[in-house]
């Protein structure tokens, strides 16, 4: 047994992120007041990893004896997750200073979380799925409680940890049962056995547990209870990366196991996924209406979006799979952007998080008003922005797979969701702000991140084929 | 049937369980009981308990316990590695070097943070 150069090339991107995280950890503890330095170090590392993922993208294959995917699919998700990481870094530095918790450890933990997400989305073996999931989750548990003097942050961390550990147990038990019935944890091997003979019933118990674990991580009904409290309590940039990078990694592994390996898992699994999808869309959209706190509203909206993405998974056809990948890219840009604007408006002690705090903002601060409107219109699914095409692809896939009812539920839910997204816009432009409301100075890095996200939302909305041509050959 | 091979073990375990239960119950039922305060204390011939054990500990104890577990568990990986290091040759050596280097970074971190300083 030995490691070849191609093995190392296959994990180059995730390797760069991990090594950067280790160096950043030492830099953070040896140098005084090094938070800024660590942030730039992390940004440089992630940019390097992005270049590595881009460079290895054309050569799809596996590395380390078929344990891990290299290039292609893995590179695509690597680049997506690195985008989420870079945007989070840019938005976080000023937010952390405002809240008085600007420590280098924040950036180190985000880097570790990013490396876990990348590993999870590159899994060719159930063990790697588990490994990546744990690296990601443990980092996110810590990040959720990063503001350790704030009660809500601690509550978010504890809730996420307890429920997350339980869900990981589900997932691991599912892996054990699948290993027990199929004799391998290798996804390609499982696919071969699954295709050659009907698996024993115990296999379906394992697959069900695995499904529960994944549904928890993507925040789909009926495993969504943690989402609102955790997104509300976590520091805002953390909610941003949790809802985008974390979701992308979980969906990447979900797709690898259930669609690529099990071919959709048959009609029963597809129906189950469709039910999860419908419940998520309706629950998320309806409960979000009643929210006053913007972070909590976005948490319920995130449940609804998990439902839209699950629609593509339930359809399990080529359009649905590409649609989910497209949706994840679109969702990453628009959701990190929205959380970014919220993190700028938010003041210490969890102030300025309600709808009414946005009154008159669009006229007072034109830049924030315009980018926020772009993100919200995209989340609502209004053409020509990215969110519209994401929904279009997954609903078209559902119709193709003879699940027209699911597409109808989705369209109705997304009509409901327009209400609460546009309500923010209405507050921003059609309500008078309070007398003498202060104008928030927008930091340079934050505005760069918002501009990049807005450009992403508009760009891939106007040219959806740019993403589809990247993902078309994966399936 | 392979399961039949386990029948003797099943009988053995059941007998052991029954034996233990019967003996302890029998001594509880038939044995003489003459309790006094000394006999009822937590450690009859040990130290005098001073106060309740359910009180607040300094968080330092938890920190040290947690760090101990972290570094202790790594030994679990070192033992099997040590058993096969000859067959793995240079590859195994370098792999373990990487593993220990990552651990070392963590150790240096907690050292510099002062997590191991007691006061």
Domain edges within chain A = 265-475
Q: Say which DSSP state B41 is in.
A: S
Per-residue burial over A101-123, b = 16 or more CB atoms within 10 Å of its CB, e = otherwise: bbebbbbbbbbbbbbbbbbbbbb
Q: How far apart are CA B116 and CA B107, in angstroms?
A: 10
At residue A95's C-alpha, the angle toward residues A236 and A379, to 5°, is 40
Q: Which of residues 16-45 of A touch B (CB under 8 A)?
A: 22, 25-26, 29-30
CA A374 vs CA A81, A328, A444, B99: distances in Å? 22, 17, 19, 46
Q: In the predicted model, is pLDDT for residue A439 greater than 90?
A: no
What's the rounded mean pLDDT across residues A147-169? 93
Q: In the predicted model, is pLDDT for residue B54 greater than 80?
A: yes
The answer to whether A3 contacts B112, with C-beta atoms less than 8 Å apart, is: no
Residue of A nearest to B87 (CA): A1
pLDDT tens-digit map of A394-432: 999 999 999 999 999 999 999 999 999 999 999 999 988
**B54, part of any domain:** yes
pLDDT tens-digit map of A294-304: 999 999 999 99
Range of the domain at B108: 2-113
Per the prediction, chain A carries an average pLDDT of 92
pLDDT tens-digit map of A323-354: 999 999 999 999 999 999 999 998 877 778 88
Q: Which of residues 69-88 of B touch A (CB under 8 A)?
A: 88
Instruction: Find which of A15, A29, A30, A135 to mutate to test the B interface (most B CBs within 10 Å of its CB).
Output: A29
Q: How far apart are CA A262 and CA A155, in angstroms?
A: 38
Q: How far apart are CA A232 and CA A92, in angstroms?
A: 16
Residue B82, helix vs strand vs coil: helix
Q: In the predicted model, is pLDDT for residue A11 greater than 70?
A: yes
Cβ-Cβ contacts under 8 Å, B112 against chain A: 29-30
The answer to whether B105 contacts A2, with C-beta atoms less than 8 Å apart, is: no
Q: How far apart are CA A88 and CA A446, in angstroms?
A: 9
What's the rounded mean pLDDT across residues A260-270? 84
pLDDT for res A440: 83
Q: How far is A373 from chain B (nearest CA, A)?
A: 43
Say how many Å lie between the first and final Cα of chain B, rounded: 64
Q: How far apart are CA B16 and CA A436, in angstroms?
A: 82
For A29, the closest of B88, B102, B112 (CB atoms) is B112
What's the rounded mean pLDDT across residues A212-218? 94
CA B49 vs CA A30, A243, A394, B52, B55: distances in Å? 46, 52, 68, 8, 14
> For residues A364 and A433, is the Cβ–Cβ distance under 8 A?
yes
Q: How far is B116 from chain A (nearest CA, A)?
A: 15
Q: How far apart are CA A140 and CA A71, in angstroms?
A: 26
Sign of CA dihedral A438, A150, B118, A102: negative
Confidence of residue A210 (pLDDT cuts 50, 70, 90): very high
Q: Which of A208-212, A334-338, B36-40 has the lowest mean pLDDT?
A: B36-40
Q: In the predicted model, is pLDDT for residue B18 greater than 80?
A: yes
**B84, part of any domain:** yes
What's the rounded mean pLDDT across residues A449-474? 91
Q: In the predicted model, is pLDDT for residue A1 greater than 60?
A: no
What is the number of domains present in chain B?
1
Q: Is A183 exposed, middle or buried (0-12, 13-18, 19+ CB in 10 A)?
A: exposed
Q: In the predicted model, is pLDDT for residue B17 greater than 90?
A: yes
pLDDT for res B38: 78
pLDDT for res B2: 67
For residue A226, list its beta bridge partners: none
For B105, the closest of A1, A2, A22 (CB atoms) is A22
Q: In the predicted model, is pLDDT for residue A444 greater than 80?
A: yes
Percent of chain B residues topping a pLDDT of 70 = 98
Percent of chain A residues topping a pLDDT of 70 = 100
B91 touches chain A (CB under 8 A): yes
pLDDT for res A433: 80
Cβ-Cβ contacts under 8 Å, B106 against chain A: 25
> For residues A418 and A289, is the Cβ–Cβ distance under 8 A?
no
- Greatest pairwise CA separation for chain B in angstroms: 69
Sign of CA dihedral A151, A153, A157, A162: positive
Q: What stretch of H or E contains B87?
A: helix B59-113
Closest CA to A224 of A160, A292, A147, A171: A160
What's the rounded mean pLDDT across residues A50-71? 90
pLDDT tens-digit map of A247-262: 999 999 999 999 888 8
Q: How far is B109 from chain A (nearest CA, A)?
A: 6
What's the rounded mean pLDDT across residues B53-81? 87
Cβ-Cβ contacts under 8 Å, A25 against chain B: 105-106, 109
pLDDT for res A163: 95
Q: How far apart are CA A376 and CA A324, in angstroms?
A: 20
Q: How far apart are CA A87 and CA A392, in angstroms?
A: 26
pLDDT tens-digit map of A70-92: 988 999 999 999 999 999 999 99
Residue of B nearest to A22 (CA): B105
Sign of CA dihedral B50, B56, B57, B58: negative
Give the ipTM of the model, two decimals please.
0.83
pLDDT for res A300: 96
**Of A4 and A119, more confident:** A119
A289 touches chain B (CB under 8 A): no
Q: In the predicted model, is pLDDT for residue A96 greater than 80?
A: yes
CATH number at residue B105: 1.20.58
């Amino acid at each position: 047994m030995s490691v070849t150069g191609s093995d190392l090339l296959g994990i180059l991107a995730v390797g760069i992120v991990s090594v950067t995280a280790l160096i950043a950890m030492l830099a953070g503890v040896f140098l005084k007041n090094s938070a800024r330095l660590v942030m730039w170090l992390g940004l440089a590392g992630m940019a390097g990893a992005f270049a590595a993922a881009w460079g290895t993208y054309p050569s799809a294959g596996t590395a380390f004896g078929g344990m891990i995917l290299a290039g292609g699919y893995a590179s695509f998700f690597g680049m997506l997750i690195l985008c989420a990481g870079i945007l989070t870094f840019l938005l976080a530095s000023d937010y952390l200073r405002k809240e008085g918790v600007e420590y280098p450890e924040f950036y180190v933990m985000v880097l570790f979380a990013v490396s876990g997400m990348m590993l999870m989305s590159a899994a060719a073996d159930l063990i790697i799925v588990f490994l990546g999931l744990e690296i990601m989750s443990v980092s996110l548990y810590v990040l959720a409680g990063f503001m350790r003097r704030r009660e809500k942050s601690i509550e978010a961390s504890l809730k996420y940890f307890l429920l997350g550990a339980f869900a990981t147990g589900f997932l691991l038990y599912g892996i054990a049962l699948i290993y027990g019935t199929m004799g391998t944890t290798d996804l390609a091997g499982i696919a071969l056995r699954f295709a050659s003979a009907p698996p024993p019933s115990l296999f379906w118990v394992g697959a069900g547990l695995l499904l529960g674990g994944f549904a928890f991580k993507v925040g789909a009904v009926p495993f969504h209870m943690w989402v609102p409290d955790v997104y509300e309590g976590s520091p805002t940039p953390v909610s941003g990366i949790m809802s985008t990078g974390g979701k992308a990694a979980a969906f990447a592994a979900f797709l690898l196991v259930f669609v690529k390996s099990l071919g959709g898992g048959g009609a029963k699994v597809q129906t189950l996924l469709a039910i999860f999808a419908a419940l998520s869309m309706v629950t998320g959209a309806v409960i979000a209406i009643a929210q006053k706190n913007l972070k909590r509203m976005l948490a319920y909206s995130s449940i609804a979006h998990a439902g839209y993405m699950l629609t593509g998974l339930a359809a399990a056809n080529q359009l649905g799979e590409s649609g989910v990948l497209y949706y994840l890219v679109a969702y990453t840009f628009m959701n990190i952007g929205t959380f970014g604007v919220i993190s700028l408006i938010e003041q210490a002690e969890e102030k300025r998080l309600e709808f009414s705090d946005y009154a008159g903002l669009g006229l007072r601060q034109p830049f924030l008003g315009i980018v926020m409107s772009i993100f919200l219109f995209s989340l609502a699914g209004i053409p020509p922005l990215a969110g519209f095409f994401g929904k279009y692809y997954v609903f078209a896939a559902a119709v193709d797979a003879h699940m027209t009812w699911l597409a109808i539920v989705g369209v109705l839910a997304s009509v409901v969701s327009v209400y609460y997204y546009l309500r923010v816009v209405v507050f921003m432009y059609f309500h008078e702000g309070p007398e003498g409301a202060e104008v928030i100075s927008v930091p340079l890095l934050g505005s760069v991140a918002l501009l990049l996200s807005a450009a992403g939302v508009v760009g891939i909305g106007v040219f959806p084929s740019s993403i589809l041509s990247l993902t078309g050959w994966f399936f | 049937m392979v399961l039949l091979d386990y029948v003797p073990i099943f009988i053995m375990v059941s007998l052991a369980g029954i034996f233990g239960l019967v003996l302890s119950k029998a001594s509880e039922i038939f044995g003489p009981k003459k309790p006094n305060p000394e006999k009822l204390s937590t450690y009859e011939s040990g130290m005098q308990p001073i106060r309740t054990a359910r009180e607040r500990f300094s968080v330092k104890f938890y920190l040290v316990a947690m760090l101990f577990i972290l570094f202790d568990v790594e030994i679990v990986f070192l033992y099997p590695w040590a058993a096969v290091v000859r067959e793995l040759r240079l590859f195994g050596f370098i792999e373990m070097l990487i593993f220990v280097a990552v651990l070392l970074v963590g150790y240096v971190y907690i050292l510099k943070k002062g997590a191991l300083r007691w006061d």
